[in-house]
Structure 1
Amino acid sequence: MLELFKKRNFSLFWFGEMISVIGDQISLIAFPWLILQMTNSAALTGLVFAVQGIPRAVLMLAGGALVDRTSPRLMMIMSNALRMLLVVSLAYMISQDTADISIVFIMAFAFGVADAFFYPASISILPSLVSRDELQTGNAIIQTTLHLGMTIGPFVAAFIIAGEIGSAAQSAELVVSDSVLSAYDLDREGLARAFFIDGLTFALSLLSLLFVNVRKLNVEDETSSESSLFKEIRQASLWAWSIPAVRLGFIGMAVIHFFFMPMVFVG
């Protein structure tokens, strides 16, 4: 298994994936926490989960179909660049206290769109980095890395955002102009820092991908017409929706993200 890490292209890709998934988890925590601190509304916190998650789920089929007709590496680079610009811009606006709810929702939606194209590309690029005999091992390494990142990421996000907890607790009784500072005022620095570090993870992932050389695969080009692209998306959507387990899973995840995940943040 460790032999694969001696291959430069696979090692660079693995590093980019590891960093990127941690960035994903930071944003997964930071976006709803930002909304909660700004509004103290469980409903809006659930809505930002939906705004970020629905385009990811709906457009992932389109992302997969488009990746089949373009370069997975280029798609990953573009997605990382967009996500980096989004979170760094949001970090700056938070630090300057110019971010409002509408901006956060727009950026969460755009982030979800970028995710929808990044994930299919990250899956389809692996066969161009390793041999067929190494594909199963390479996929196992990447999947293990993704699950590890999904476990570590939320702790990293919590640690970054909560960096000001000690001072916030001491400042809880601080009165400025006869009014107690809001939780958002106290946590703003931690949230800005979280989004900035999030942007840094995407920058590192992007840089690693720039140095990855992929070999061209010999695949049959059925057709690259625009009509066939939409036809493929439609067929895949109908096929997925026709399977009860997939349909139930999609509905279940939507319900969980909208109704139950806010409770985790509100407590």
Structure 2
Amino acid sequence: MTWSAALAPLRNRNFAWYFASRLINMLGNMMASIALAFAVLDITDSPSALGQVLAAHTLPMVALLLYGGVIADRFPRTLVLQFSNVASALSQGAIAVLVLSGHAEIWMLVVLSVVHGAVSGIGFPAMASVLPQLVARSDLQPANALISLTRSAMMVLGPTVGALLVVTIGSGWALAVDALTWALAALLLVPVRIPPKEPTGAPADTIRELREGWSFFWGTPWLWIVVVGFGVLNLIHAGAWSTLGPAIADDTIGRQGWGFVLSAEAAGFLVTTVVLLRVRLERPLLLGMLGALLMAPPMLVLGVSPHLVILVVAAFAAGAGTEVFGMGWNLAMQENIEDGMLSRAYSYDALGSFVAIPIGQIAFGPLAAVFGYRPVLITSAVAYVVICALVLSSRSVRTLRRVPTTPEPAVTSGTS
């Protein structure tokens, strides 16, 4: 794939506007986490209060993912995204006003976080599934890679910008900037034009559509096998890496060392995304699951001998493998699931993948207290490998290939 082909999606007017919207949106998201954390800590020094505010966002988001999939398959996805962005701008703006005015209380932030989480759950399936409506099938991999490239860059830039805003102008103004990015993201979607959905002739019925989504999900082996596998893998990752990792780092490689490890992981994302702009993944799920296996070595190193240099190298490789999986998964979904079912498929995917994460976050601390960090991390690394191997034991996963592409006109008209 030439660089000209890799950047071809940006010459498509619709994708270019969507890309700009996602870029602004991701920058705001990356800033918001640190801004909200310090806003809560400005009100109270209680970590439990911060946990309540964060959970108030996560729980309604997960609860409404399936409904969001139905909405995105029923209505124009850009319209759903605009609604979600505007509602997010209003909820974040309200938090900013409360913080800046000095009237913010934890219960108020909890209520507004519930609103923000709810609209995020409604908007996520539309955001995940709109890409095939914006670019030709032959441009799906470079389009996904460009989105991943910006996400990886924002993972590095966003928290730094957010921290800078918090330090210089305060957490309230930083949240106000985040609210502005949500509004701007909605505005940038206005020029996007996608073909209207063809009427099905059947009256809207949310329960029926959810059942149709479930029937498709369960009737597609590679889909449910990977989602079930990642439900367990994400539980392990959230518990072993994200929860126990910082605690172990604090006593071994230090907080700055842990920062280097996480930066190496982000660098692995970024470098691999650039590679995937040029290299075509022919077997997206086989290569993706092999990439996912690379998350096990950092856990093993963390448990056996947390040496900084080895951890940095292992984390870089894990980031690279994670990005290969992410690309392979999106291509498998976008190329093999028809448009009318895609949002619901993504919603079942997200629900299955996210639902067990809080269990890992809560359970691994007590497990480490009872059995010790080393045994829990070694067991986690072994379990990670076993789960990946079980997923790969499915022929439907190993043999799924890219859908052949032929020269075709762009899905949408106009160039930038």
**TM bracket (short chain):** 0.7 to 0.9
The 3 A distance-change label for structure 1 pair 100 and 229 is same
| Residue of structure 1 in register with 2:358 after alignment | 254
Listed as ranges, the matches of 1:82-231 within 5 Å are 82-163=87-168, 190-216=170-196, 224-231=204-211
Cα offset, 1:147, TM superposition: 2.8
Q: Does 1:22 align with 2:22?
A: no
Preserved contact between residue 73 and residue 125 of structure 1 (Cα < 8 Å):
yes
Please report how far the alpha carbon of residue 222 of structure 1 lies from its aligned counterpart in structure 2 after TM superposition: 7.9
Count matched residues: 235
User: Deviations for 1:149-190, whole angstroms, at most 9, x for unmatched residues?
Assistant: 2332211211111115xxxxxxxxxxxxxxxxxxxxxxxxx1
Equivalent position of 2:237 in the other structure = none
Aligned to 1:60, which of 33, 57, 65?
A: 65
Structure-1 separation of matches of 2:159 and 2:232: 28
Structure 1 pair 49–259 and aligned structure 2 pair: CA distance change class (3 A): farther
Report the AA paired with residue 59 of structure 2: I
Partner of 1:169: none
Task: Describe the shift of the 1:257–1:28 C-alpha distance in structure 2 as closer, same or farther (beyond 3 A).
Answer: farther
Query: Is this contact kept in 2: 1:23–1:198, CA < 8 A?
Result: yes
Task: Tell me the distance in 1 between the aligned counterparts of 2:157 and 2:232.
Answer: 29
What is the Cα deviation at residue 62 of structure 1?
Answer: 2.1
Residue-by-residue CA offset, 1:86-119 (whole Å, 9 max, x unaligned) = 1122212211111111110111111111111222
Structural RMSD (CA): 2.9
Cα distance change, pair 233–36 in 1 and its aligned pair in 2 (3 A): farther
The alpha carbon displacement at 1:245 in A equals: 3.9
Q: 1:126 to 1:45 in 2, by over 3 A?
A: same
For residues 127 and 242 of structure 1, the distance between their equivalents in structure 2, rounded to whole angstroms, comes to 21
TM-score w.r.t. the length of structure 1 is: 0.77
Tell me which structure has the larger Cα radius of gyration: 2
TM-score (norm 2): 0.51
Which runs of 5 or more residues in structure 2 are unaligned?
Answer: 1-5, 219-223, 235-353, 365-416
Q: Distance between the aligned counterparts of 1:22 and 1:221, measured in 2?
A: 40
Deviation (angstroms), 1:65: 2.4
Q: Counterparts of 2:195 and 2:359 in 1: how far apart (Å)? A: 41
Q: Larger relative contact order (C-alpha < 8 A, sep ≥ 6)?
A: 1
Instruction: Give the match's secondary structure for 1:243.
Output: helix
**For residues 216 and 40 of structure 2, what CA distance do their matches in structure 1 show?**
34
Q: Distance in 2 between matches of 1:219 and 1:144?
A: 36
Aligned residues of 2:49 and 2:106 also touching (Cα < 8 A):
no
Gaps of 5+ in 1: 165-189, 261-267
**Take 1:129 and 1:241, find their aligned partners in 2: how far apart are those partners?**
26
Distance verdict in 2 for CA 1:54–1:240, change over 3 Å? farther
Identity %: 27
Q: Judging changes above 3 Å, is the alpha-carbon distance between structure 1 residues 143 and 78 closer, same or farther for their aligned structure 2 residues?
A: same
